[in-house]
Amino acid sequence: MQDTNNINWGIIGLGNIAHQFCRDLLLVDDAVIYAVASRSQEKANTFGEQYGVTNCYDSYDAILKDDHVDIIYIATPHNSHAELSVKAMTHGKHVLCEKPIALNKAEANMMIETSKETGQFFMEAFWTRFNPSVVEALLKIKNGDLGAIKYINADFAFYVDIPEGSRMTKTELGGGSLLDMGVYPLFLAYVVLGMPEKIMAAANFFESGADQQTSMILHYKGAQAVLHSSFMSPSNMVATISGTEGRINLHSVWHETQGYSMIRNNHKVDYHLPTKGKGFTYEIEACHKCIRNNQIESDVWSHQDSLNLMSITDAVRKETGLKFPQENKIK
Ligand SMILES: NC(=O)c1ccc[n+]([C@@H]2O[C@H](COP(=O)([O-])OP(=O)(O)OC[C@H]3O[C@@H](n4cnc5c(N)ncnc54)[C@H](OP(=O)(O)O)[C@@H]3O)[C@@H](O)[C@H]2O)c1
């Protein structure tokens, strides 16, 4: 870390989510957008201008050599998360890597091993785990306010007019609704119920082999989660967690929710917890706290959590037959 109290961020891959993330970085007092990197100098300069950044690099390797950068935010397509995270950590950078952490569990393992070997902080950017409503709802569930959890219903679906050449349909980039959106409902089932005993899933596919939509049942001893992701049609985007003594609805759009309702004994109470910015601020603050405490992982969204979620995603893919060309076989 540099000798100021600020933490210097370097951004890799200047697309849609990098813009959203940087708008929230500006809201965190001790965060500085110190440098940005694109495959194009022109794009880096334009992005830099927008956020008041003067260190604008025309390659991902160049930003890793900047000694003033403390932590790299990786916002590139899924297929490059593992390689770039490992590279960044071996260059002495902490890493916040966009979800999904990787294409598969083998890659995720390699990234986590690199964090342990280098001593660099590493976290998957699972911002929903840090959303104030989700945090509060999970506490209530843990306290037993809903009784025994029996059922979760969650989806992430909207109609996307996918532009020609988009990463979303390219299997070599990890395209498809499952890794883009399906990881959110899987995340919710995992944080509430843990690892399932059995996974059932089926998907419809684009010609490219990427999944258009995937439906999943996670079966637990005494509980079930019914989950769905899709690029093809919209859903209400409300998630329900239901127990023997009540239920919680995470308000739409649930993975970035501004509130939730708890319904018990036919009585509904609404909770409104507006996020600071879009809501990336909380994972940013969590990174800062871990870095200052010399932690290599968060105890809120740990390395093991990312590994577990990735192994659930691998199991769903095994069921549906979704394959990425760079994998010889799904582990
Ligand atoms: N947390 C969230 O809410 C959230 C939301 C959306 C996406 N994401 C995740 O963030 C990652 C990026 O998603 P996005 O929607 O920002 O994608 P995007 O708009 O396509 O941007 C991705 C950026 O990655 C770089 N890139 C490097 N190699 C590329 C390649 N072969 N094809 C296309 N772009 C390439 C490009 O930046 P340069 O041209 O500057 O090099 C591009 O602008 C994905 O892993 C996705 O799952 C997270």
**CA-proximal residue: ligand 1, atom 43 (nearest):** 15
Per-residue pLDDT for the chain (331 aa), expressed as one digit of tens each?
655 689 999 999 999 999 999 999 999 999 999 999 999 999 999 999 999 999 999 999 999 999 999 999 999 999 999 999 999 999 999 999 999 999 999 999 999 999 999 999 999 999 999 999 999 999 999 999 999 999 999 999 999 999 888 999 999 999 999 999 999 999 999 999 999 999 999 999 999 999 999 999 999 999 999 999 999 999 999 999 999 999 999 999 999 999 999 999 999 999 999 999 999 999 999 999 999 999 999 999 999 999 999 999 999 999 999 999 998 654 4
Which contacts (CB < 8 Å, 24+ apart) does range 15-21 have? Answer: 15/75, 15/76, 17/75, 17/98, 18/47, 18/73, 18/75, 19/47, 19/50, 20/278, 20/280, 21/73, 21/75, 21/280
Instruction: Report if residue 292 sits inside a domain.
Output: no
Q: What is the CATH number of the domain that holds 212?
A: 3.30.360.10
Instruction: Select from 16, 58, 63, 128 the residue to mutate for testing ligand 1; criterion: most ligand atoms less than 8 Å from CB.
Output: 16
Alpha carbon of 277 to ligand 1 centroid (Å)? 20
The whole-model pTM stands at 0.97
Instruction: Select from 99, 167, 280, 283 the residue to mutate for testing ligand 1; criterion: most ligand atoms less than 8 Å from CB.
Output: 167
Instruction: Report if residue 41 sits inside a domain.
Output: yes
Q: What is the CATH number of the domain that holds 50?
A: 3.40.50.720
**CA-proximal residue: ligand 1, atom 30 (nearest):** 77
Instruction: Report if residue 95 sits inside a domain.
Output: yes
Number of domains making up the chain? 2
**CA-proximal residue: ligand 1, atom 21 (nearest):** 15
Q: Domain range holding 219?
A: 132-274
Which contacts (CB < 8 Å, 24+ apart) does range 253-257 have? Answer: 254/154, 254/188, 255/128, 255/131, 255/156, 255/184, 256/127, 256/128, 256/131, 257/131, 257/133, 257/134
Pick the atom of ligand 1 nearest to 43's CA: 40
87 plus 146 within the same structural domain = no
> How far apart are the C-alpha atoms of 204 and 206, rounded to whole Å?
7
Helices (H) and strands (E) in the chain, counts: 10, 14
The dihedral over CA atoms of 186, 134, 89, 7, expressed in degrees to the nearest 10, equals: 160
Alpha carbon of 214 to ligand 1 centroid (Å)? 21
> How far apart are the C-alpha atoms of 149 and 129, rounded to whole Å?
19
Where does a domain end: 126, 144, 159?
Answer: 126
100 plus 139 within the same structural domain = no
Alpha carbon of 194 to ligand 1 centroid (Å)? 29
Instruction: Report if residue 253 sits inside a domain.
Output: yes
Give the Cα-Cα-Cα angle 11, 12, 13 (nearest 5 degrees).
Answer: 120
204 plus 109 within the same structural domain = no
